[in-house]
Amino acid sequence: MLTWLDDRRLLVLAGALVLLAGALAVLGLSRREPSGIEFAYSSALPPGSPIKVQVAGAVVRPGVYELREGDRVVDALAAAGGPTEDADTDALNLARRVRDEERLDVPARTGAVAGQPLAPGTKLDINVATADQLDALPGIGPAYSQRIVDSRAVDGPYKSTRDLVDRKVLPQSTFDKVRDLIFVGP
C-alpha cells in the first residue's frame, strides 16, 4: 500500500525546487552591485510653488528672493540684478535647479591659477572658490578640486572646513596640508 507522500513524491519535489529557485533569484537581485553614483533632484513641492533663495556674493543686489519651484541658478542671478563685473559665473552650473531655503554664493574672480601657488596670506573660501582656484592649493589636484565643487553643489554649502573630511571629500592627510589656506565665509 502506497502512502500519500509516495504517491505525490514528484509533485512535492517539483514544488520544493520552485521555492528554492525563487529564493535564489531574490537573493541574487538583492546582492546586485550599484552601477555608479546617481543624483536625483526631488522636491516635495509641486512645480511653480513659491520658494525663497538667498543670493550672495558677486551680484548687483544680494538678498533673499522669491522664486518658483523648478527655477534655475540663472533665474536666481537675474532676480538679484545679475552678476557683477568681477563675478566668476563659470564656477556655477547655471542650469541647476535651486531649492527652497538655499543660499547661492556667486564667487568673484580672485586671480588664482591652477598650478600656481597662492600668494602669502591668501585664503580661499571653499564655498565660492572655483575648481581651478582650489587646484592651486598644495596637495589638491583636479580630482580633489572637482570633488570639493561637486559636494558643494550636491550637499549644499560647507558649514566649516572640517566638512571636507566629514563628507569624505578629502582624506585627513590632504586636509592637514590645506587647513590653514582655506576658510568658510559668512
Query: What average pLDDT does the chain have?
Result: 82
pLDDT band of residue 79 (cuts 50, 70, 90) is: very high
**The pLDDT value given to residue 155:** 87
- Contact between 93 and 86 under an 8 Å Cβ cutoff? The reply is no
**Does the pLDDT of residue 60 top 80, yes or no?**
yes
Q: Distance of alpha carbon 29 from its chain centroid, rounded?
A: 28
Q: Is residue 1 predicted with pLDDT exceeding 70?
A: no
Q: What is the pTM of this model?
A: 0.43
pLDDT band of residue 113 (cuts 50, 70, 90) is very low
Categorize the per-residue pLDDT at 80 as very low, low, confident or very high, splitting at 50, 70 and 90: very high
Query: What pLDDT score was predicted for residue 67?
Result: 96
* Sheet with strand 103-106: strands edge to edge: 63-68, 50-57, 103-106
Q: Which fold has domain 124-183?
A: DNA polymerase; domain 1 (1.10.150)
d(CA 117, CA 138): 8
Q: Which residue has the cell 587646484?
A: 135
Q: pLDDT for 153-162, tens place per residue?
A: 888 899 999 9
Kindly list the domain boundaries of the chain, sorted by start residue: 1-32, 50-106, 124-183
